[in-house]
Chain A
Amino acid sequence: MNPALLGLITIVAGVGGCIGYFYFSNQILDKVIFPATGPDAGRNINRANMVRPWLFLFPAMFALGLYLAYPVFETLRLSLTDRDQGGAFVGLANYQQMAAEPKFWEALRNNLLWLIVVPAASTAFGLLAAQLTDRIKWGSIAKSLIFMPMAISFVGAGVIFKLVYETRPADQNQIGILNAVWLQFDGGFGSFLMLQALPTLILLSFAGIVAYVGWIFVRPIAESRQNGGGAGFVPLRLFVGVAALYLVYLSLTSLIGVFTFDYPYGEPQTWLTIPFWNSFLLMVVLIWIQTGFAMVILSAALRGIPEETVEAAIVDGANPFQIFFKIKVPQIMGTIVVVWTTITITVLKVFDIVFAMTNGQWETQVLANYMFDKLFRANDWGVGSAAAIVIMIMVSPILIWNVYNARKEMK
Chain B
Amino acid sequence: MDNIAGSKSSLGWVVNISVVLLVALWVFPTFGLLVSSFRTADQITGSGWWASLFPSEQTERFRANDPDENRIERDGLFVVEGNIFEENGGSGDIQSWGTSSRAVDAYKPGDVADLGDGETFSVDAAGNYVWSGNDEQISGRGQRAFVTAVSPPEFTTENYVNIMTSGDSNDNMAKAFFNTLTVTIPATIIPIVVAAFAAYALAWMDFPGRAILIACVVGLLVVPLQLALIPLLKLHVGVGIGKGYLGVWLAHTGFGLPLAIYLLRNYMVGLPRDIIENAKVDGATDFQIFTKIILPLSFPALASFAIFQFLWTWNDLLVAKVFLIDSTGQTTVMTDQIVNLLGTRGGNWEILATAAFVSIAVPLCVFFAMQKYLVRGLLAGSVK
- Give me the interface of A with B, judged by CB distance under 8 Å: 3-4, 6-7, 10-11, 14-15, 18-19, 22-23, 26, 30, 50, 52-54, 56-57, 59-61, 63-64, 66-72, 74-75, 78, 125, 128-129, 132-133, 135-136, 139, 142, 144-156, 158-164, 166, 168, 172-177, 180, 288, 291-293, 296-297, 300, 307, 310-311, 314, 320, 334, 338-339, 341-342, 345, 348-349, 351-352, 355-357, 368, 371-372, 375-376, 381, 384-385, 388-389, 391-392, 395, 398-399, 402-403, 405-407, 409-410
Contacts and interface: CB of A to CB of B under 8 A. Distances in A.
Given A162-B342, A311-B4, A59 B356 contact: no
A148 B367 contact: yes
B363 to A, nearest CB: 4
Contacts of B179: 3
Interface string B4-47: 10110101100110110011001111101100100000001111
B225 A64 contact: no
Contacts of B249: 10, 14
A60 B257 contact: yes
A314 B197 CA distance: 50
A54 B206 CA distance: 11
A59 B194 contact: yes
B335 interface: yes
A403 B19 CA distance: 37
A60 B338 contact: no
Contacts of B318: 351-352, 372
A153 B369 CA distance: 18
Contact of B231 (A6, A56, A70, A168): A70
A3 B245 contact: yes
Nearest to B20: A142
A288 B28 CA distance: 11
B339 A68 contact: no
B342 A129 contact: no
Interface residues of B, number: 120
A389 to B, nearest CB: 8
Nearest to A19: B193
Nearest to A125: B22
Interface stretch (B118-126, B132-140, B142-150, B183-191): B183-191
B26 A288 contact: yes
Contacts of A368: 224, 226
A23 B249 CA distance: 23
Contact of A68 (B7, B30, B220): B220
Contacts of A180: 48, 50
A61 B7 contact: no
B197 A18 contact: yes
Interface in B251-292: 251, 253-255, 257-258, 261, 285-287, 290
Query: Top 6 A-B pairs ranked by shortest CB distance?
Result: A67-B254, A153-B315, A60-B198, A151-B367, A74-B231, A56-B201
A338 B18 contact: no
A307 B214 contact: no
A28 B220 CA distance: 32
B215 interface: yes
Contacts of B19: 129, 132-133, 136, 139, 142
Contacts of B206: 53
A285 B228 CA distance: 26
Given A152-B363, A155-B317, A375-B229, 14 more contacts: A15-B193, A56-B201, A64-B258, A67-B250, A72-B227, A136-B12, A153-B359, A156-B359, A180-B50, A341-B383, A381-B230, A385-B230, A392-B224, A402-B218
B6 A392 contact: no
B382 A56 contact: no
Contacts of A402: 218-219, 221-222, 383
B223 A3 contact: no
Given A145-B26, A149-B26, A407-B215, A349 B225 contact: yes
B22 A146 contact: yes
Contacts of A148: 26-27, 30, 364, 367-368
Contacts of A52: 201, 205, 286
B189 A338 contact: no
B317 A355 contact: yes
Contact of B230 (A64, A139, A384): A384
Contact of B383 (A338, A348, A372): A338
B375 interface: yes
Contacts of B172: none
Point out which of A70, A147, A389, A403 has the most chain B C-beta atoms below 10 A from its C-beta. Answer: A403
Contact of A59 (B18, B197, B384): B197
B254 A64 contact: yes
A135 B295 CA distance: 38
Nearest to B331: A3
B9 A68 contact: no
Contacts of B46: 173
B250 to A, nearest CB: 7
A250 B230 CA distance: 39
14 contacts: A10-B246, A18-B194, A52-B286, A60-B198, A68-B220, A68-B257, A74-B231, A132-B15, A142-B22, A146-B26, A151-B360, A173-B51, A297-B379, A402-B218
Given A52-B205, A56-B200, A132-B19, A160 B383 contact: no
Nearest to A83: B230
B30 A152 contact: yes
B94 interface: no
A63 B253 contact: yes
A10 B382 contact: no
B359 A356 contact: no
Contacts of A135: 9, 12, 15
Nearest to A307: B1
A9 to B, nearest CB: 9
Contacts of B210: 53
B371 A147 contact: yes
A168 B249 CA distance: 42
Contacts of A133: 19
Contacts of B297: none
A396 B248 CA distance: 26
B182 interface: yes
B79 interface: no
Contact of A356 (B1, B217, B342, B382): B342
B366 interface: yes
Given A136-B15, A311-B4, A372-B318, A153 B360 contact: yes
Given A61-B198, A68-B255, A399-B219, A156 B44 contact: no
Contacts of A59: 194, 197-198
Nearest to B358: A156
